[in-house]
Amino acid sequence: MSEETIDMNRIPASVAIIMDGNGRWAKRRHFPRIAGHKRGMNVVEEITTEASDLGVKVLTLYAFSTENWKRPEGEVSYIMSLPSTFFNKFIPKLIKNNVRVETIGDITKLPAKTREAVDNAIEDTRNCTGMILNFALNYGSRLEILNATKNIASKVKNGTLNINDIDEDIFSNNLETSGLPDPDLLIRTSGEERISNFLLWQIAYSELVFVDKMWPEYHAEDFKQTIIDFQNRHRRFGGLVNK
């Protein structure tokens, strides 16, 4: 851990994380892949608490992509069972910390028990006014962009939107993240340096940090170091800044 300290006046408002490496972490220890996912949920709790304590406004976690259905059936079934276990344990702490649960992605395609657990978490925390814990579940950014395009095209076709009025704000408002700030910081664990169909529109000006540690071994101190790394960068947004 660096001896540098976090500037509490420059905490990123919105952080997105690709939680990668659960399976590889387990394999290296000769555990079944599901052991990595189980350990990974404990890290979700730890990082959520740390982000909330630091003052992050939105934490978006890539929990299950539209492509993850291609994984072995047993692994998918186990991942789908995790929300029930996780939320039953974590909801009281979320409420205590004033954290509200939201989701992006098509949760209607999730198994009934998984969807029920997610819906209950959203309902139980709906009055919380602190950090938003936003789970990307059955989410894919290309599909999100296609759906936004179709929605806009439909509005143009039925006359409720003029084609010349379409701008970035209109497009953003038709995405599933409408109303949420774009990520200031995108983190991916496990050493992989890919975006993997996650928030492609929204991360246009995000700072990207790729961390070598697997998600199950990424902890609060690592998260704080990532925030320090973010704060050491000069964000230009296409322009110039004075150093």
Which residues are known to be catalytic?
20, 68
Looking at residue 173, its amino acid is N
Looking at residue 25, its amino acid is W
Give yes or no for a contact between 200 and 139, defined as CB atoms under 8 angstroms apart: no
- CA–CA separation, 16 vs 61, rounded Å? 6
Write phi, then psi, for 65 (nearest 5 degrees): -95, 165
Q: Within a 13 Å sphere around the CA of 14, how many CA atoms are in the beta-carbon half?
A: 14
Residues, the chain: 243
CA distances from 97 to 13, 51, 129, 163, 181 (A): 17, 11, 10, 44, 21
CA distances from 239 to 114, 176, 233, 235 (A): 45, 28, 14, 9
Give yes or no for a contact between 100 and 131, defined as CB atoms under 8 angstroms apart: yes
Q: And the tokens for 38?
A: 């189980």
Strand order in the sheet with 100-104: 100-104, 132-139, 58-65, 14-18, 185-188, 207-210
